[in-house]
Amino acid sequence: MYPQQVHSYLQQFFTENNCYILGDSDHYITVQLTIDMDKKIMNRPFYWQYVEATNGEPNPAQVTFITDQNRLEEKILGEVIYFGSPRLSQLFQATKELGAFVQMFEKVERFETKPLLTPWLGVNYKVSYCSDQTKEMLYSFGINLMTGEVTEDFQETLTDMDLDSVNSEDAFQVQYIIKPIRALQRLDAIVEDLIQKDDHTWAEEAGRRWQRSQRVLEYFYEGVEQKPECYEIEKKALEEQYDAKIKIEIINGGLFYLT
């Protein structure tokens, strides 16, 4: 996930959750959190307990997230956020809890004839290659529910659009032909195919590191006929540590009606 993708995700996340964006450049974003969002991501329960107990004036935080520190041309104080960082993982989790599925409509201007809004299914996937080292990748796909056309980097396409949760009276919403569940199955298959075609030497390397660690363990217990319980515990821990696994996770998705 590139810095610009992280930046686009933050823009959409905070906008959809009614957090006012105070400042937005290509490399950082400053946001005024709502009370609910402050409680969810700022980890200060004692402050909110005090405010509620004393009936005090709430003061939700303003936060600045730096999405590309290497390209900043000015001195900005804020939290560096990147793919794999604890903060971004926290926002992914918040997205799940707040509702991972949305239905949005592109805003249109008034014309003599109503423009048609075509339904798309958009899905953001996180693929994790897990062993003693972890590599994570983000994929964003959209599929046209009329034609079956599939497009990559769908999230970036949505970022440039003016969307609303309610359809305008000036536009006509076309009913989909391809059922969303069928479209999702096709996108799942595309992601699985990408994984199949990827280079998986990482798993072989993890296996070799596992063997080396296992040989070290055996060396320490060489000549011990009756292995103690701690030997089995360490052996099991090594197996879990180096075992190569692939995880596919849907971060969020939705139906998008676009011109």
pLDDT for position 196? 95
pLDDT for position 246? 95
> Please, are residues 259 and 115 in contact by the beta-carbon 8 Å criterion?
yes
Burial pattern 13-30, b for ≥16 Cβ within 10 A else e, equals bbebbebeeeeebebbbb
* Inter-CA distances, 136 with 1, 45, 198, 246, Å: 8, 31, 13, 10
pLDDT for position 34? 94
**Residues 6+ positions from 217 with CB-CB distance below 8 Å:** 231, 234, 235, 238
Residue 63 burial class via C-beta count within 10 angstroms: exposed 0-12, middle 13-18, buried 19 and up: buried
Q: Which residue has the higher pLDDT, 96 or 131?
A: 131
Average pLDDT over residues 45-64: 92
pLDDT tens for residues 210-246? 999 999 999 989 888 888 899 999 999 999 999 999 9
Q: Which pTM does this prediction carry?
A: 0.66
Average pLDDT over residues 185-197: 96
Residue 149 burial class via C-beta count within 10 angstroms: exposed 0-12, middle 13-18, buried 19 and up: exposed
pLDDT for position 197? 95
